[in-house]
Amino acid sequence: MAQDAVIDAGSPPPSEGLKSIVTDWSSDQRAFKKVPWGKAMMWIFLLSDTFIFTIFLVSYMTVRMGSTVPWPNASEVFALTIAGRHVPLLLIAIMTFILISSSGTMAMAVKFGYEKNKKMTAILILVTAAFGATFVGMQAFEWSKLIADGVRPWGNPMGAAQFGSSFFMITGFHGFHVSVGVVFLLIVAAKVWRGDLDNERPGFLTGRKGNYEMVEIMGLYWHFVDLVWVFIFAFFYLW
């Protein structure tokens, strides 16, 4: 009985226990207290998108390692003929350089955005969008070249039939992300140039008054797209 009394004496009152439960359940509210909802939602979206791209790449590895038919040689499939010579992966190298460079211009746009330098922010966002559009254009050229060579989602004259379906699905899904990013970059650039972020003009992708967090949110998306391309480049073109 004495021991039970000691335990009861050391136990918190029921009201404090309930308060502790409420505090634990609301801890996420405290953790994200100063985080803009737009940024938090973008991180959640990127996390879900990471799962999708991971599933695609793991499926690609599974199909490739399980194929009984020889897989096409990337150095030959993606080679360009220049002055009668085959240059392997030249187009892919240029595409990768352009997309990685766009990450640099986007990072600079975020920097100038938080410095409230409206002109430089808009210019750098437009440069980033131009890099992205160039990448998509070069990817369209790559697709047209493979299609002319007979590669289809359901067949491939160069080797394993799964090559075409894997390639068009994964690079197409990534190219769609880049295309959507270019459209949103153009919208944000226009809003920055007009001063919508400074005046908190009502509308799409505006954010809080005098705050350029929308530029940073777009930067998160763009860096993610660039990072995904690094993995696609490694799995498709270097493996």
pLDDT digit string, tens, across residues 97-146: 999 999 999 999 999 998 889 999 999 999 999 999 999 999 999 999 99
| Domain contains 23 | no
| Domain contains 139 | yes
Mean pLDDT of 75-81: 85
Closest CA to 166 of 50, 48, 62: 62
E strands, the chain, where?
80-82, 85-87
d(CA 70, CA 42): 40
Q: Which amino acid is at 24?
A: D
Res 1: pLDDT: 47
Closest CA to 126 of 202, 47, 218: 218
Residue 156: give its domain's CATH number. Answer: 1.20.120.80
| Domain contains 71 | yes
| Domain contains 48 | yes
Tell me which residue range forms the domain holding 208: 36-238
Contact by Cβ (8 Å): 110, 215: yes
Q: Is the pLDDT of residue 32 over 80?
A: no
Number of domains the chain is built from? 1
| Domain contains 10 | no
pTM summary value: 0.82
Helix 213-232 vs helix 162-194: angle between axes, to the nearest 10 degrees? 160
Which tens digits make up the pLDDT trace of 181-207?
A: 999 999 999 989 988 777 766 555 565
Q: Which amino acid is at 97?
A: F
| Domain contains 146 | yes
Q: Which residues pair with 80 in a beta bridge?
A: 87
227 vs 198: which has the higher pLDDT: 227
**20-29, 156-165, 192-201: segment of lowest average pLDDT:** 20-29
| Domain contains 8 | no
Res 10: pLDDT: 52
Q: Is the pLDDT of residue 3 over 70?
A: no
